[in-house]
Structure 1
């Protein structure tokens, strides 16, 4: 392993030399998916082969807070101990918007004993992928990521609105799949595609989604870790590009009232390690037992995993009936009203799409969680319900309606804790409780409008 790592670092040094890099952005994804880390001169990066940061850096709330006491400190060091960050040479990419030649490298987090920090998001996904690897299976995923372009807004008390495009007008109506609506923002998307090409991000198609200013980018299918890294980097990229065009790009699940929310639909399948067989299909092309068991696992465990798929109080505003978002765990073939969809495909490309996940989810955590649900389904041979062939919007809600409810379900689900790691779920649940408490201290405009003089 050490020889292999040294070889990778030698290749990394060659890459940095070829691109004449003078600075390195050393990145670590935290629980929210924010890029933490340090910027080092090239010489310092090469000398250290890593750096140190406090453990708490990857275990903070979206507001940068962490608990003062409780189970959180059964996992995270009370004395603010350091973790050692080790670069993953396979993640090196140029920073295309930097003035000086700058590279960005994603790092893994280790404790002082050389063990992966169990609550770091990359470590959680790595843990789940290793469980599949031990069984001789290789997960393949392909995310579809929705986001909104919105006008620059520096006042959080004001509602967001669609940005002005080339025509000089903002969108005021639904423009699903409109080419002209996408072309309104051609200068921005030319930069996005240029940045993605220079960073070697494997983005596929760009479409205009249902909402005003809402877009969707699709990624080519690949290994879970590689695609989680790409989604993490893409979010940085599109935000940077939008700022350069005097607008914001947001991955909030529900940024604008009255408009559809934004999702991260994840297509997933399992193949043999030689890549020759899709485990979701029998030799005669029919769906396999594993295909149905995988769906059964998603149906059983998605409700408990919702705090991982919908991680903020805002996330649950997206999950409303008749808003292009699922409200239950029904499944169906070529049915976009369900939470678990199987697109029409050839037997070799048979896959399952989890449509529950929000665009605001941490990609490492979300991919780990959805794969964990499917793995448990196969191991426990969980049969799914009957296929939904009508509109699942007409069925009852089967998902938690709030973050607090979701966190309670997550804490009670021991099977997911065994797969994802008890330390991770302890830290995650404590952070989500903290965020919910912070939110409950804020008085909303709705309360002032409807309760101030009426109660």
Structure 2
């Protein structure tokens, strides 16, 4: 691990690095930044980017001026980037020796910029540190491999594997179905090893060419960083094998949606013990309050778990997506699952987030909900042992509904930062407006000559 900029310079020189990718995760969770010669990076005056990158929508548009008034400077001033030296990694798919480094964003006075998603997560983690607690998380990320698609009007299709055939039947946990894409996944693991990503189990999920990659449990910032980097990596690997990897939450009409489940627990900083369990291996009051917070505040936080119009197709029509905030012991039909485990591994698995989330914001929102539960001593409901999906829904069902939930005054916005929440909502309002301007094929099919 590289702990400071002096060690970073030595690492770059020792590895013969000629280029640097200075990365910043944007609101969507994609990489923005600059590619610089290593000599300029080492001896320059630092890297900067326009502040406005944090108010740009996924379509490249900008929210209305009044929506972002006082959130960014009208002169479109610079952000100041500082490398997090712990994140330096090789870029294994390029020919020239290249390093990628995730950067934090600051204003001209050296203050963390409130709109940077990585800073939002750090803000939540600082609250836990004041309480003497360290959150631990382990993401499980689903994605699809699909045929290359250069026509946006053409539905996505499963890719052809080694057998020369595309999947048609459901292949949950099939080893042979994963082996259909062995060359792709062998290169994926090679790249992950070169980047020191802590990927664990790879499984085939229930959709056609739908996969899940699990990450080892660790601190939330490093896990968000690794999800961010893994998405870049698997997209690159897939294209090298003439297919796409997509994290769209519901990419195909008749296939299940893709999620990012977040396993989470809390460690006492002094004793290093899991505070979710008592000495006699019962669930602690802290566990109950944390769980209660996830139940109470998740409906307000859904914009961070379901950030796109497509996200709600997973919630409404996904085979296994949760539709409420009930919890249960080893119950995968509940939005909050508590796996059967040893005392030190006691945790909650929040199953709300789609694979299309910004990992920094989804993890920050989940931890913020749990934090509010602890501070407000929220008691959870009784656990559900049957099918929780048959119980009434209490989650927003559209992007518009999630926007209205977050717009109301709430404690969640105070924790995440009110300026950040305003900016995020302005972006999502603009994206929804842009989406709604598109006339769909369904409207042409059923309304053109019938109304």
Q: CA deviation at 1:322?
A: 6.5
Check conservation: 1:335, 1:389, Cα contact below 8 A.
yes
Q: CA deviation at 1:251?
A: 0.2
The answer as to 2:216 corresponding to 1:224 is: no
The answer as to 2:322 corresponding to 1:308 is: no
The answer as to 2:231 corresponding to 1:243 is: no
Q: CA deviation at 1:274?
A: 4.0
The answer as to 2:57 corresponding to 1:61 is: yes
Match of 1:197 in 2: 193
The counterpart of 1:433, out of the listed 429, 434, 437, is 429
Match of 1:318 in 2: 314
Check conservation: 1:321, 1:393, Cα contact below 8 A.
no
Match of 1:408 in 2: 404
Check conservation: 1:263, 1:357, Cα contact below 8 A.
yes
Match of 2:108 in 1: 112
Q: CA deviation at 1:385?
A: 1.0
Q: CA deviation at 1:277?
A: 1.1
Q: Could you say what secondary structure the match of 1:56 adopts?
A: helix
Check conservation: 1:49, 1:87, Cα contact below 8 A.
no
Q: CA deviation at 1:58?
A: 2.5
Separation in structure 2 between the aligned mates of residue 207 and residue 180 of structure 1, nearest angstrom? 11
The answer as to 2:42 corresponding to 1:46 is: yes
1:137-194 CA distances to partner (integer Å, 9 max, x unpaired)? 0000000000000000100000000000000000011000000000000000001000
RMSD over aligned Cα atoms: 1.1
Match of 2:447 in 1: 451
Total equivalences in the alignment: 450
Separation in structure 2 between the aligned mates of residue 153 and residue 19 of structure 1, nearest angstrom? 37
Check conservation: 1:138, 1:271, Cα contact below 8 A.
yes
Q: CA deviation at 1:48?
A: 2.5
- TM-score, with length taken from structure 2: 0.98
Matches within 5 A, 1:371-390: 371-390=367-386
Check conservation: 1:50, 1:87, Cα contact below 8 A.
no
Match of 1:37 in 2: 33
Check conservation: 1:88, 1:105, Cα contact below 8 A.
yes
1:32-60 CA distances to partner (integer Å, 9 max, x unpaired)? 01100000000110113631111111221
Matches within 5 A, 1:163-178: 163-178=159-174
Check conservation: 1:293, 1:382, Cα contact below 8 A.
yes
Match of 1:207 in 2: 203
Separation in structure 1 between the aligned mates of residue 182 and residue 103 of structure 2, nearest angstrom? 34
Check conservation: 1:330, 1:339, Cα contact below 8 A.
yes
Structure 2 residue runs of 5 or longer lacking an equivalent are none
Match of 2:179 in 1: 183
Structure 1 residue runs of 5 or longer lacking an equivalent are none
The answer as to 2:88 corresponding to 1:92 is: yes
1:381-419 CA distances to partner (integer Å, 9 max, x unpaired)? 000111111101111121101001101101114200111
Q: 1:322 to 1:193 in 2, by over 3 A?
A: closer
Separation in structure 1 between the aligned mates of residue 239 and residue 22 of structure 2, nearest angstrom? 22
Match of 2:420 in 1: 424
1:406-436 CA distances to partner (integer Å, 9 max, x unpaired)? 0110111420011100011000000000000
Q: CA deviation at 1:17?
A: 1.6
Check conservation: 1:28, 1:58, Cα contact below 8 A.
no
Separation in structure 2 between the aligned mates of residue 50 and residue 106 of structure 1, nearest angstrom? 14
Q: Could you say what secondary structure the match of 2:7 adopts?
A: helix
Separation in structure 2 between the aligned mates of residue 238 and residue 58 of structure 1, nearest angstrom? 24
Q: CA deviation at 1:11?
A: 0.9
Separation in structure 1 between the aligned mates of residue 53 and residue 414 of structure 2, nearest angstrom? 24
Worse overlay, 259-268 or 439-448: 439-448
Check conservation: 1:304, 1:413, Cα contact below 8 A.
no
Match of 2:76 in 1: 80
Check conservation: 2:156, 2:251, Cα contact below 8 A.
yes
Match of 2:99 in 1: 103
The counterpart of 2:5, out of the listed 6, 9, 20, is 9
Q: Could you say what secondary structure the match of 1:103 adopts?
A: strand
Separation in structure 2 between the aligned mates of residue 393 and residue 295 of structure 1, nearest angstrom? 18
Match of 1:25 in 2: 21
Separation in structure 2 between the aligned mates of residue 275 and residue 250 of structure 1, nearest angstrom? 41
Match of 1:364 in 2: 360
- TM-score, with length taken from structure 1: 0.97
The counterpart of 1:296, out of the listed 292, 302, 321, is 292
Check conservation: 1:228, 1:363, Cα contact below 8 A.
yes
Separation in structure 1 between the aligned mates of residue 430 and residue 445 of structure 2, nearest angstrom? 27
Q: Could you say what secondary structure the match of 1:301 adopts?
A: helix
Check conservation: 1:151, 1:163, Cα contact below 8 A.
yes
